[in-house]
Amino acid sequence: MSLSSLSIRRPVTTLMFYAGVVFVGIVSFRRLGVDFLPPVSIPRLTIYTVCPDLSPAEIDEKVARPLASVAGTVSGVKKTSSLSRRGAAMITAEFSWGIDMDYAMLEMRERLDQLGPELPQEAGRPTIMRVDPSTEPIMTIGVTSPSDTNSTNLMELTETCNALLKKRIEQVEGVAQVLVLGGVEQEVRVDLNERKLTSLGLTIDEVAQAVSAENVSLPGGTIRRGALRYPVRLLGELSSAGDISRLSFMCKEAGRIVRLAEISTVHDTIRERTSWTRHNGKDILVLQVRKEAGSNTLVVSENVRQAVERLERENPGLRMHMLSDQAEFIRNSVVDVEQSILWGAMLAFLVLFLFLRGFQDPCIVGLTVPVSILATLVAMSALGISLNIISLTGLALGIGMLGDNAIIVIENVRRLREEGFSFSEAIETGSREINLAVTASTMTNVAVFLPVLFVRGVAQQLFADMAVTMTVSLLVSLLVAVTLVPVLLAWKPMRALDPARNGRTVSRVAGVIDAWGKQCLDRILTRALQARGRVLLSTAAILTSSVLAAFYISSEPAPEIDRRRFIIDLTLGAETPASTVAGLESRIESMLHGIPGVIGVYATMGIAASPDIWSLSDASIGHIHLEISLAENTKTESVMDQAREQIRLLSRNLAGVEFSVKPSGTTFERILRPQTSDIDIRIQGSDPATSRRIAEEFFREIRHLR
């Protein structure tokens, strides 16, 4: 007994099965996470080491080369590269696809820890970072105070952000981490009197060691009281300028105890800033919100917005506003794809209505589409696939094919009815006859998409979701066509299957359209057969021109998406004073606000507290990064051209200024096109001076090219 015959004999069981699928599909839809892209694990690790007191040459020799050598011994590493600049070294290790990056990161940490004692004392502990798009901040929140943003207010605002805002937002469900950028921090400064140090025979190192020896917190044992145990600690940490100034230590040369206040001036001050954040010309603090893996970005964003509103009500002295929110872009992208699916289903139903002459047959075929989609959502939930533009694109591509098998079944039943079979015989025989045909047709389509799951590299990481959704939806549509469609046909006989009994107005109109279409097709085929030579020559000409035109189609890894945002990056010389950097940023920001269509400018300068791994190589004190938001109906390219020309005029009197103006890239673009420029030219050599001279000569040759 075939599956179709079994379904027809057990209609209640079949209907209840699909009712259960629909119910579970609706529940799964409500629980599925929503993201812009599926999770992508890039096989690359970046090692970042801060070396504040070493020159680039020393960093390359004493830090970068040893780190790169050790990184190359980790299992699976294909290639290592290093970048040494003033204050930091960055090593990139690229792995083979298929490597477990969690294990690779652990092995890398073990190897680097073993190397630690061999690195210079000036070098910090190497930080290992993964290229993981899912860890990017989903929201950027600006925090300001209505009062003047002087150093004192900024310090209070920084303390509020760290002590209150950061902790409250991290309590929101789905939030993994909140980073605070910008602001100022307090520090205690000890200005030693060099003359007094000399007279007492003390050195700066001896004073520093004495202060460090007093700034400790030690365990003090345990107190037992009944069944309870209380740990005791001896707190000796220094917390204020007064605590430090009252320190005393033994001076062997003078033969007496010396108080720190005798040989120095101790006072509270502001720590030297290495980064600044501004929005529309005003100093602000920035909160970057990162979500937990697998969390729904839209839900997390809404929860964070509600938490921000509560915090503003509870703290009238704070102003919090959204600088960026991935949820908006994700929501718009997902809605666009969902609308495409809806319009595709509606157009498919209209076509079915015109060709199947009535409402009943198109309704049965149209029913297979949502059932197949809901069953696919169940599979997505079981496999951990989120609703993203890739998985939804798979559904959108398959929307036109989901009803094909059902149409074949209905048309075969119609044919048998016209040949004189009874209604029940036509349904059972017609369904059984085409089982093999619809299965072969479906498997042909599946064979196109399924191999994507076995491709290695970024293509498999990105497009596996599309292959799964396409494959599952097509297989489910096959099952629906051979089980549910026969049950519906047998459960409620349809007059539309018998043209002789169809006399309704709607069916007559559809019949007229069908007849007109057949007449047009007959005329076209007749003329084509009468001019076979011209038809063949025309076909050959179209084919040839299409092949030739393919060579002139531009290609790129990822299309540019106009998000009405663009980015400006400027890099000044490493020795450029902070005041010069801030002054140039202020002039550029004023210029940008003078361009029609610019509604917001968010700027960061210097080395951020948490550098973006995509632009880590550009981080320096002399680096300026600006994100410009544009109004609706503003041409991004036009504004970018104006900004590019104005920046060229503003920076022409400053030596060594490099800048770029480019559209704001999405995570999708950065994965497929990780390089920041269209053309990269590398000059390799053992002598840095010679390499620099060649680079400068090459730059002079190409700078005037258009």
Write the DSSP symbol of residue 133.
G
Per DSSP, the three-state class of 445 is: helix
What would the mean pLDDT of 477-481 be, rounded to a whole number? 88
Q: Where are the beta strands (DSSP E) in 55-115?
A: 77-85, 87-95
Q: Where are the beta strands (DSSP E) in 536-690?
A: 565-571, 598-606, 623-630, 658-663
DSSP β-bridge partners for residue 181? 286
Look at residue 230 and tell me if it is in a domain: no
pLDDT above 80 for 486: yes
Look at the pTM and tell me if it is higher than 0.85: no
User: Which of the pair, 603 or 653, is modelled with greater confidence?
Assistant: 603
Backbone angles phi, psi at 87, to 5 degrees: 95, -10
Structure tokens at 361: 């047959």
Burial of 411 (0-12, 13-18, 19+ CB in 10 A): middle
HEC assignment per residue over 663-701: ECCCHHHHHHCCCCCCCCCCCCCCCHHHHHHHHHHHHHH
Task: Give just the sign of the alpha carbon dihedral 95, 96, 97, 100.
Answer: negative
pLDDT above 80 for 273: no
Q: Are 488 and 530 part of one and the same domain? A: no
Q: Are 588 and 647 in contact, with CB atoms under 8 Å apart?
A: yes
Q: Are 600 and 628 in contact, with CB atoms under 8 Å apart?
A: yes
Radius of gyration from C-alpha coordinates of the chain: 35
- Total tally of structural domains belonging to the chain: 6
Among 70-84, 615-629, 650-664, the minimum mean pLDDT is found in 615-629
User: Which of the pair, 303 or 250, is modelled with greater confidence?
Assistant: 303
Inter-CA distances, 117 with 62, 63, 129, 141, Å: 12, 12, 21, 40
Containing structural domain, residue 371: 3-31+357-492
The single residue listed with the structure tokens 């009712």 is 19
Q: Are 385 and 320 part of one and the same domain? A: no
Write the DSSP symbol of residue 206.
H
Position 304 scores a pLDDT of: 92
Q: Are 200 and 258 in contact, with CB atoms under 8 Å apart?
A: yes
Position 497 scores a pLDDT of: 44
- Among 163-172, 218-227, 672-681, top mean pLDDT goes to 163-172
Q: Using one digit for the tens of pLDDT, what is the confidence trace for 609-624? A: 444 555 555 556 678 8
Q: Are 193 and 285 part of one and the same domain? A: no
pLDDT above 70 for 582: yes
pLDDT above 60 for 288: yes
- Among 221-230, 273-282, 623-632, 671-680, top mean pLDDT goes to 623-632
Position 357 scores a pLDDT of: 62
Q: Are 523 and 607 part of one and the same domain? A: no
Give me the DSSP letters along 417-448.
Answer: HHTT--HHHHHHHHHHHTHHHHHHHHHHHHHH
DSSP β-bridge partners for residue 606? 275
Q: Are 389 and 471 part of one and the same domain? A: yes
Look at residue 172 and tell me if it is in a domain: yes
pLDDT above 60 for 504: no
Give me the DSSP letters along 307-371.
Answer: HHHHHHHH-TT-EEEEEEEHHHHHHHHHHHHHHHHHHHHHHHHHHHHHHHTSSHHHHHHHHHHHH
Per DSSP, the three-state class of 587 is: helix
Look at residue 226 and tell me if it is in a domain: no
Close Cβ partners of 699 (under 8 Å, ≥ 6 residues apart): none
Q: Are 565 and 663 in contact, with CB atoms under 8 Å apart?
A: yes
pLDDT above 80 for 63: yes
What would the mean pLDDT of 584-594 be, rounded to a whole number? 86
Q: Are 683 and 600 part of one and the same domain? A: yes
CA–CA separation, 107 and 102 (whole Å): 9
pLDDT above 70 for 405: yes
pLDDT above 50 for 153: yes
Backbone angles phi, psi at 470, to 5 degrees: -65, -50
- C-alpha count within 13 angstroms, C-beta hemisphere, residue 491: 17
Query: Kind and range of the H or E element at 222?
Result: strand 216-225
Q: If you average pLDDT over every residue of the chain, what do you get?
A: 80
Look at residue 346 and tell me if it is in a domain: no
Name the CA dihedral angle for 297, 302, 303, 306, rounded to a multiple of 10 degrees.
160
Q: Are 154 and 285 part of one and the same domain? A: yes
Look at residue 86 and tell me if it is in a domain: yes
Helix axes 636-650, 578-593, angle to 10 degrees: 140
What would the mean pLDDT of 80-109 be, rounded to a whole number? 85
What would the mean pLDDT of 599-614 be, rounded to a whole number? 68
Q: Are 464 and 37 in contact, with CB atoms under 8 Å apart?
A: no
Checking 671-675 for CB contacts under 8 A at 24+ apart, the result is: 671/37, 671/40, 671/42, 671/133, 671/458, 671/462, 671/558, 672/458, 672/462, 672/557, 672/558, 673/556, 673/557, 673/558, 674/614
Position 674 scores a pLDDT of: 56
Query: Kind and range of the H or E element at 265?
Result: strand 264-270
Position 498 scores a pLDDT of: 46
The single residue listed with the structure tokens 């009252």 is 246
Look at residue 39 and tell me if it is in a domain: no
The single residue listed with the structure tokens 């632009």 is 615
Position 502 scores a pLDDT of: 47
159 confidence band (pLDDT: 50, 70, 90)? confident
Q: Are 538 and 591 part of one and the same domain? A: no
Look at residue 135 and tell me if it is in a domain: no
Q: Are 266 and 282 part of one and the same domain? A: no
CATH number of the domain that 202 lies in? 3.30.2090.10
Per DSSP, the three-state class of 171 is: coil
What amino acid occupies position 568?
I
What would the mean pLDDT of 239-258 be, rounded to a whole number? 78
Backbone angles phi, psi at 476, to 5 degrees: -65, -40
Q: Are 254 and 285 part of one and the same domain? A: no
Structure tokens at 160: 């509020």
Q: Are 263 and 253 in contact, with CB atoms under 8 Å apart?
A: no
Q: Are 281 and 252 part of one and the same domain? A: no
pLDDT above 90 for 134: no
Position 308 scores a pLDDT of: 92
CA–CA separation, 577 and 141 (whole Å): 28
CATH number of the domain that 661 lies in? 3.30.70.1430
Q: Are strands 623-630 and 565-571 parallel, antiparallel or unpaired?
A: antiparallel
Longest Cα–Cα distance in the chain: 122
537 confidence band (pLDDT: 50, 70, 90)? very high
Q: Are 612 and 679 part of one and the same domain? A: yes
Per DSSP, the three-state class of 144 is: strand
Look at residue 427 and tell me if it is in a domain: yes
CATH number of the domain that 299 lies in? 3.30.70.1320
What would the mean pLDDT of 99-116 be, rounded to a whole number? 87
Q: Are 609 and 179 in contact, with CB atoms under 8 Å apart?
A: yes
Position 217 scores a pLDDT of: 72
Among candidate residues 267, 335, 327, the one with its CA nearest the CA of residue 299: 327
pLDDT above 60 for 418: yes
Q: How many residues does the chain have?
A: 706
Name the CA dihedral angle for 139, 296, 388, 634, rounded to a multiple of 10 degrees.
-30
303 confidence band (pLDDT: 50, 70, 90)? very high
